[in-house]
Amino acid sequence: MKSSFRQPSILPGFGLTLGFTTFFLCAVVLIPLAALVMKTATMGWADFVNVLFSPRAIASYRLTFGASMLAALLNSVFGFIIAWTLVRYEFPGRKLIDALIDMPFALPTAVSGIALTAVFAENGWIGQHLAPYGIKVAYTWIGVVVALTLIGLPFVVRSVQPALAEVQRDLEDAAETLGAGRFYIFRRIILPTVLPALATGFTLAFARAVGEYGSVIFIAGNLPMKTEITPLLIVIKLEQFDYAGAAALGFMMLVMSFAMLMSINLLQAWGRRRLVAAGR
């Protein structure tokens, strides 16, 4: 039984380490997850549907998923430009900027939240230049997009960078000597190599944005139906001791996270197949 479960190895410690891993995983992740599923299951079907499709919940999905999608799209464009700049060009400060790309990942979300709000508020460094044009960023849905864009940026840049470094420069040169234009080279040589990585980065940024809480609640204004994200709605339900309602919304978001995790794995497998097919 054991021999069919794992391949033989002379290295020791398999039972101990796998046992500990599984135990810890059960204690910290799986049992709490079971609690969420069970709590949701205690609700009647009608209650469940009522919570998930209440107008306030639907408004929060629209903002959460819409803003996350917009932020991930913005990140795909600018993340690609930044990755391109870092991989292809040499300029003073390149290494410093390369290191700083991971900043949103290391920075506590509460800090990015209050800092972005300060910058984009009507008297902030950037907000005061936008206000005369009637553009309000802080305390509107635009602020939510700004916060989510900052949070997702490292995912796109760090996914695209290695793929862009893989693009065979001699192929580009060959295409150029054969008379291919700049956009043709981009479309036929660069984009196909980078596309799986870009799609992975997009999905990672989107998945991260959907669950984001800390940086958004400061800049969003948090008006029900208008600038209230779904994670905040869960917190509000908990504060009202509506545990079942919070569990139902949490369950819905958990299913979404699972789906996105699966698609990220599929996208990464696609990227690997692409590289293998290219003879790498």
Partner 1 sequence: MAGGPSKAVLAELASRPGRTTLTTTLVKGLFISLSLLFLGALLFAPLITVFATAVSKGILPYFQSFQDSDTLAAIRLTLFTAALVVPINTVFGIAAAWSIAKFEFRGKSFLITLIDLPIAVSPVISGLLYVLLFGVQGWFGVWLQDHDISIIFALPGIVLATMFVTFPYVARELIPLMQQLGNDEEEAAITLGAGGIMTFFHVTLPKIRWGLVYGVILCNARAMGEFGAVSVVSGHIRGLTTTMPLHVEILYNEYNFVGAFAVASLLTLLAVATLIIKTLVEWRTGYSKH
Closest separation in Å from C-beta 84 to partner 1: 6
Of residues 35, 41, 225, 266, which one binds partner 1 by CB under 8 A? 35
Site string for partner 1, 58-77 (x = CB under 8 A): --------------------
Residue with Cβ nearer partner 1 (211 or 221): 211
Of residues 50, 54, 85, 222, which one binds partner 1 by CB under 8 A? 85
Token pair for 169 = 């420069």
Listed in sequence order, the residues at least 6 apart from 255 whose beta carbon sits closer than 8 Å to its beta carbon are: none
103 touches partner 1 by CB under 8 A: yes
Positive or negative, the CA dihedral 132, 133, 134, 135 is: negative
Of residues 43, 52, 185, 238, which one binds partner 1 by CB under 8 A? 238
122 touches partner 1 by CB under 8 A: no
Instruction: Give the Å distances, CA to CA, from 149 to 25, 73, 118.
Output: 31, 9, 16
Residue 224 backbone dihedrals phi, psi, to 5 degrees:
-55, 145
Measuring CA to CA, which residue among 212, 89, 217 is closest to residue 153? 212
Residue with Cβ nearer partner 1 (12 or 132): 12
Of residues 43, 73, 78, 180, which one binds partner 1 by CB under 8 A? 78
Of residues 73, 171, 185, 260, which one binds partner 1 by CB under 8 A? 260
Q: Among residue numbers 157 through 216, which ones bind partner 1 (CB under 8 A)?
A: 173, 182, 207, 210-214
* 8 Å CB contact between 177 and 195: no
Of residues 31, 135, 174, 255, which one binds partner 1 by CB under 8 A? 31
Closest separation in Å from C-beta 277 to partner 1: 22
Measuring CA to CA, which residue among 221, 251, 245 is closest to residue 233? 245
93 touches partner 1 by CB under 8 A: yes
End-to-end Cα, the chain, rounded Å: 38
275 touches partner 1 by CB under 8 A: no
SS3 state at 5: helix
